[in-house]
Amino acid sequence: MLPTLSWARVDSRRAAIMGCGHTGSFIASTLAEEGWSLRVVDPDPDSFSLLPKGMVDDGRIRTVVGDGTREMSLRKAFVHDAHVFIAVSGKSASNIMAAQIARHVLHLPTVVCRVDHPISREVYEKLGIVTVSTEALVADAILRATRQ
C-alpha cells in the first residue's frame, strides 16, 4: 500500500524531480519560490541537505528516498499526479529510464530529461521527452562568446 503523501497545495502546479544534486536542488527551490509544489526523489537521504530547510519544513518541497528508475518509487512520490517530471541525476542512463517511465507508463504530459549524448537527445525527443544536454549548452555558450 502506498503512503499518504499529499501535495502541499492541490491547486498549485506540481513538479517531481529525480536527482537532488546541485542542479535538482536549485530547480526545486526555484520552482517552490514560484509557487509550485515539489517532490524530490533521490536514493541518498543526505542529498536533501542541499534543499532549503524552510521549504522542506513548510511542505512546499517533499523529499522521497527512492530509486527514480523504478516505477514503484515514482508512484510512492506521487509522480503520477505531477504536471511535470524532471530527471536530472548525475547519470544519463538513469535519467533516460526514469523519463521513459514518467512519460510512457505514468503518462505525464511534460517530461524533461538531462542527457549527455547528442544521439540520445534525438531518439528521446522523438518519444515526446524534452531533453537538455549540458554538453550542447556549454558548446553553444562558448561558440556564442567567440562570435561576439
How many percent of the chain have pLDDT more than 70?
91
Is pTM, for the whole model, over 0.75?
A: yes
Phi and psi for 117 in degrees, rounded to 5?
A: -115, 120
Report, at the CATH architecture level, how domain 14-146 is classified: 3-Layer(aba) Sandwich (3.40)
* Element spanning 122, H or E: helix 118-126
What does the pLDDT read at residue 10?
56
Q: Is the pLDDT of residue 9 over 60?
A: no
Q: Is the pLDDT of residue 7 over 70?
A: no
Domain parsing of the chain, residue ranges: 14-146
Q: Which residues contact 110 (CB under 8 A, 6 or more apart)?
A: 83, 84, 85, 130
pLDDT, tens digit, 9 for 90 and up, residues 51-74: 999 999 999 999 999 999 999 999
